[in-house]
Structure 1
Amino acid sequence: MSTAFVARSLDEVRFWSRIMKEHSLFLRLGFRCEDTQLINEANQFYSVFEAIENRANTFDKNTDPQVIQRFNVEVHTAVSHIWAFKRKILGLILQCQLPGANNFPLLVDHTSREAFYFRNRLEQLNAGKLDPLPDAIINENVFFLRIMADHAKFIGHLLDPSERKLVDQAREFSEDFDKLLFQARDLDSMRPQSQTPPLLDQFLDQNRVSVKSLRDFKKTASDLIAACRIKSIIHPLLADHVYREAERFLHIIDMFESALTGQPMPSMSFE
C-alpha cells in the first residue's frame, strides 16, 4: 500500500462513481411511467453513487491506504449491485417485457460493461495486481474503442433524422471505431508476439488521432445541444457524459505513451 495506490483508487472511484450515478439517471429516463419499481431502484442507485462520489471527494492522497482499501470494498459491492440491475434490465428488454421503453439494449449492455470494468479495476487495485504495461495497453484500448464505437452509434440514433450531416458524421465515426476495434482485437490475439514497443506505439498513435476527432465532435454536439441549436432527443448531461469518457480515454493513451517511451507514469502503477 502506498500513496500511489491511494491516488489511483481515488481517481478511479471519483470518475466512475459519477458515471454510475449518471447511468442511473439515463436508465430511469428510459423507463415507462408504469415501471415504478425499476424507477425506484434507479433512483436508489443514483443516491448510492452520489454518496460514494461525495465521500471520495473527502479523501486525499495522504489518506491511510487501509481506509481506502476498505472504501474500495464498499464501492465494489455497490458496483456489483448496479451491474446486476443493468443485466436484469437487459434481460427484460430482450424478452420483450418492457415494450415502449426507451433504453436501447446496446446502451444497457454498454453501461453494464462499464460497471464490470469498474468492479474489476477495484479488485486489481486492492490486490495490488494491475496489468503489466503491454497487456494494459491492449486491454484498455480494446475496452475503450468499443465504448467509443457505441457512443457514435447512440449519437447517430438519438439525433433527429433531419440532422442529416451530423447523423452521417456519427455513422462515419461508428465505422471508424469498429475498424479500430477489429485491429485492436487482432493485436490482442497475436499476443505476446505483437507486444513490441514499435507496434504498441503505432497502435496508440493511430487510436489517439481518431479519439481526438471523436472527442471534438462530441464537444461540438454537446455545446450545440446545450444551446438548443440542433434537433435531438439527447439529454444535455448525456452529451457531456460521453465527452468526458472520450477525454479519459485520451488521458489513458497519453499515460501509456509516456510509459512506453520511458517517461515516468506514477498514476499507472504502485512503483
Structure 2
Amino acid sequence: MKLNLILSLRGIRVTNGFVEKSLDEIRFWSRIMKEHSLFLRLGFRAEDTQLIQEANQFYHLFEQIEQRAHSFTNQIDPTHMKRFNSEVQQAATGIFAFKRKVLGLILNCQMPGANNFPLLVDHISREANYFRKRLMELNEGKLKPLADAIIKENVFFLRIMADHAKFIGHLLDPSERKLVDMARNFSNDFDQLVFQARDLESMKPQSQTVPLLDQFLDENRVSVTSLRDFKKTARELIEECRIKSIIHPLLADHTFREAERFLHIIDMFEAKLKNQNN
C-alpha cells in the first residue's frame, strides 16, 4: 500500500503484477520482433541494401532488449520498469513504422521479385502495434475490463492464427497436397472464428455474460489446440527435412510459440472468469 502511494505521488499508476506482466510481455514479444527482422531481411532482394541494414539494426536492437529483460527479476523497481517499458515501446513503434514502410513499397510495386507477402508484412506490423499498445496500457494502468479484454484479445489472436494457416499453406511445396489442404482447412476454420468473435464484439455489452464468454473461450481453445499441434508436427517434419517447403525452421517454431501464447492467454481468461463467477 505504501509503495503504491509513493508511486502514485510520482505520477505512476501501478496495478497488481505490473513488473511481472511487463517483463512477460517484453520477454515474449522482443524475441518475436527480433525474428520478424530476420524474416523481413531474408525476403528482401540483394539490391535492397538500405532495407537489409535497417532490418539488421532492428534485429540487434530487440536482441539487446530481450537480453536485458531476461536480466531483470520481478523485484526490479517499478519506476525503472516503467522507464524500460517506455524505451521498448519506442523501439516497437520504430519497427512498426519500418514494417508499414516496407508494406507500402510492396503494394506500390517498388520491390518486384521480393519474397515478403504483403499480408505477412501487415501481419507482423499488427503484432508490433499490439506490443507497443500493450506497454502503453501497462504504464498508464489502463488495462481493459475482463470481458472487454477477452473479446479484444481473441479477435486479435484468432486473426493471427488464421494468417499463420494461410502462410503455411502458401510456403509448403504444392506437391505436399495433404498438408496444403490441412492448412487451407485451418485457414477457413479460423476465418469463421474471427467473424464469430467480431459478431460477439458488436453485440457488447449485452454479449458479455459469463456463459457466453466461457463458451467462446472453450470453442477457441479446441481450434487453437488443433492448430498448435499441426504446427508442432510441421515444425518437426521441417527440422527433419521430411517434407518439401520453403518454410524456415525458425518460422515454423515462431508460429508454434505464438499458438502456445494464445492458449496461455485463454487459460488465464478462463481462470479469471471462474474466480469472478465464484
TM-score normalised by length of structure 1: 0.96
Extract structure 1 runs of 4+ deviating beyond 6 A.
Answer: none
1:220-235 → structure 2 map (5 Å cutoff): 220-235=233-248
Give the counterpart letter for 1:249 in structure 2.
F
Query: What residue identity is the alignment partner of 1:236?
Result: P
Match of 1:142 among 146, 152, 155: 155
Quote the Cα distance in structure 1 between the aligned partners of 2:166 and 2:46: 26
State the match for 1:269 in structure 2.
Answer: none
Counterpart position of 1:244: 257
Do 2:106 and 2:118's aligned partners in 1 also have CA atoms closer than 8 Å? yes
Q: Does 2:68 align with 1:63?
A: no
SS of 1:57's partner is: helix
**3-state SS of paired residue (2:17):** helix
The letter for the 2-side match of 1:168 is D
Distance 2:187 2:161 in 1: 8
Cα distance in 1 for residues equivalent to 2:15 and 2:33: 27
Percent of aligned positions with the same letter in both sequences?
Answer: 76
Tell me what 1:129 maps to. Answer: 142
Q: Which has the higher contact order (CA 8 A, sep 6+)?
A: 1
Per-residue deviation, 1:149: 0.1
Which residue is 1:28 aligned to? 41
CA displacement at 1:64 relative to structure 2: 0.4
Q: CA RMSD, aligned part only?
A: 1.0
Indicate the residue corresponding to 1:89 in structure 2: 102
Please give the alpha-carbon distance, in whole angstroms, between the structure 2 residues aligned to 1:15 and 1:75.
Answer: 12
Are 1:111 and 2:106 counterparts?
Answer: no
2:228 to 215, 225, 228: 215
- Kept in 1, the 8 Å contact 2:15–2:141? The answer is no
| Distance of 2:276 and 2:268 partners within structure 1 | 9
What is the CA–CA distance in structure 2 between the aligned matches of 1:210 and 1:3, rounded to whole Å? 31
How far did residue 43 of structure 1 move? 0.2
Q: Is the 8 A contact 1:155 1:170 kept in 2?
A: yes
**Structure 1 residue 2 displacement after superposition:** 5.9
Q: Which sections of structure 1, spanning at least 5 residues, go unmatched?
A: 265-271
Shift of the alpha carbon at 1:129?
A: 1.0
TM superposition score normalised by structure 2: 0.94
Unaligned runs of 5+ residues in structure 2 are: 1-13
Shift of 1:177: 0.1
Letter in 1 for 2:57: Q
